[in-house]
Amino acid sequence: GQQLNQSPQSMFIQEGEDVSMNCTSSSIFNTWLWYKQDPGEGPVLLIALYKAGELTSNGRLTAQFGITRKDSFLNISASIPSDVGIYFCAGQLVGGSNYKLTFGKGTLLTVNP
């Protein structure tokens, strides 16, 4: 099935550093989503992107929908310990619907205080 290539797989950073992660696909998506999953919990939506080129912020988080519609990135500025978790990108294919998302394999973020 369709897969999203998410990188990096894991990151170990110091508190205060900025973080960047991205997702790429061979297919075109009409929606890109970024979720965060805390241990023992379900994914929680961070940012949703609906237009190519769109740049959206949510506090210290910024995400962009790539111009080619085949990629997206998420930046976290000035990381804090509570940023620890797994970050997933998810996409909705053209002609698809929001009940049928394709997920990346996740980026595990560890923040050292």
Which residues sit at the interface with another protein, rule CB under 8 A? 1, 4, 6, 9, 30-31, 33, 35, 40-45, 48, 50, 88, 90, 97-101, 103-106
DSSP state of 3: -
For the bound state, the minimum distance from the C-beta of residue 69 to another protein, rounded and expressed in Å, comes to 14
- In the bound state with another protein, the residue whose beta carbon lies nearer, of 76 and 89, is 89
Query: What is the closest distance, in whole angstroms, from the C-beta atom of residue 86 to another protein in the complex?
Result: 9
Residue 73 or 87: the one with the smaller Cβ distance to another protein is 87
**Closest distance of CB 74 from another protein, Å:** 15
Amino acid identity of residue 107, one-letter, is T
Q: Tokens 């080619």 map to which residue?
A: 68
Which residue carries 């961070």 as its tokens? 46
User: Which one, 49 or 76, has the nearer CB to another protein?
Assistant: 49
At residue 52, the 3 state secondary structure works out as coil
CB of 50 to another protein, least distance (A): 6
